[in-house]
Amino acid sequence: MRIFKLAATLLPGLFAVILAFSLPGAAEIFFEERFDDGWEHSWVQSDWKRSDGLAGNWRHTAGKWHGDPDDKGIQTYPDSRYFAISAQFPVLNTKGKTLVIQYSVKHEQKIECGGGYIKLLSGYMNQKRFSGDTPYSIMFGPDICGTQTKKIHTILQYKSQNYPIRKEVPCETDQLTHVYTLIIRPDATYSILVDNRERDSGSLYTDWDMLPPKRIKDPNAKKPADWEDKEYLVDPDDKKPEGYDSIPAEIPDPDSTKPDNWDEDEHGVWKVPNVPNPAYRGPWKPKKIKNPNYKGKWSPWADNPEFEDDPDLYVFPNLKYIGIELWQVKSGTLFDNILVCDDPEYARSVAEATWGANKDLEKEAFDESEKRRQEQEEVQTFASS
């Protein structure tokens, strides 16, 4: 099901669409794909690497284990191939809009090295030539390779250059379905969610290098000699009380008495045990008072003269395609429920209605599949011994 409409709710039928159009603040859906029957009419498979015999294909399936056999996606096959497929939607300018990108992915093959990310692309693209060299505006999703790379890529294009997120945001590595969500807001903040839970968040200003930093260390800055950076000073009028140091930390226990059965020949001379002295207050420390000349913490940081704010830093003015482009040594990654909209709550409800409704059944199916696999391995091991 590929949807291009300006509003949506979870209610079924035409009434839901009409109602959504009339409700203020309803979700604006730019692209939605559930991969129902006939999905291939909306997608274009690239010829990239096909002449070399290295182009992969896509299987329409719910996978080996699932919660609903009718909830199908598209799965990579065979191994050691390049995969590239894309779909077009009406041109989207995100100025003044929240951008939400969401999809589900499942690595049934217990992936060792390969991606599971998607791309949003701008302007005109020859979809039959879509490849790893095709410029893109946003790349988002998990990438796994060996023990070192297990992260969520979030790469944004700014002024024709790609900028990866500066953080290491971990991805899921098991063989079950997971939902990945990227939210970019007009205030230049973002959130990355996995399975409807926030995995990371922050600002486009600080977590990407698209703009120079607002503040930099001034190499010529020196703290003035008269700069007072101590907020509190010792009170010169506070004097230690007379006899303070003579107060012992412990005193003999006034309630202690020698036991009646105490035998000095056997136990030695009885001594009254010590207990903490309630009058003891520790080493004396003079009181502190507010420094009247305090100027605050001195800092060598200064405004960066090279910084120039861009209030449209979050804007992607010409989004037009969504694509999956990746190389996989071991195939079997299944993509489903792709959504591009402006409403995080709608995206959350879609995730719950798809992944959330099926996750427990999928886990049961996976556990049963693993049980059968292990039993078969034991039989084979016994037969060969």
Q: In this predicted model, what pLDDT tens digit does every residue of 195-215 receive, in sequence order?
A: 999 999 999 999 999 999 888
Confidence grade of residue 25 (pLDDT, cut at 50, 70, 90): low
pLDDT band per the 50, 70, 90 thresholds, residue 22: very low
Tell me the mean pLDDT in the region 288-310. 91
Q: Average pLDDT in the 25-30 region?
A: 86
> What confidence tens digit (pLDDT) does each residue in 331-354 have?
999 999 999 999 999 999 999 999
pLDDT at 34 over 80: yes
Distance CA 342, CA 202 (A): 18
371 is in an annotated binding site: no
Going from N- to C-terminal start, the domains of the chain cover 2-211+313-384
What's the pLDDT band for 11 if we cut at 50, 70, 90?
Answer: very low
Q: Give the model's pLDDT for residue 4.
A: 46
Do 116 and 332 form a contact (C-beta atoms < 8 A)? no
124 is in an annotated binding site: no
Q: Residues with Cβ < 8 Å from 357, sequence gap 6 or more? A: 67, 68
* 3-class DSSP assignment, residue 349: helix
* Backbone φ, ψ for residue 208 (5° rounding): -130, 160
pLDDT of residue 146: 78
Beta strands in 108-234 (DSSP E): 113-115, 118-122, 138-145, 149-158, 161-164, 177-184, 189-194, 197-203, 215-217, 232-234
CATH code 3.40.50.1820 for 2-211+313-384: no
Mean of pLDDT values over 104-118: 91
Kindly state the average pLDDT of the residues 356-365: 95
Q: Is 117 annotated as a binding residue?
A: yes
Mean pLDDT of the chain: 90
Q: Is the pLDDT of residue 15 over 60?
A: no
Q: Is 294 labelled as part of a ligand binding site?
A: no
Q: 325: annotated binding-site residue?
A: yes
- Residue that is written with structure tokens 């809009």 in the block: 97
The distance between the two most distant Cα atoms of the chain, rounded to a whole number of Å, is: 103
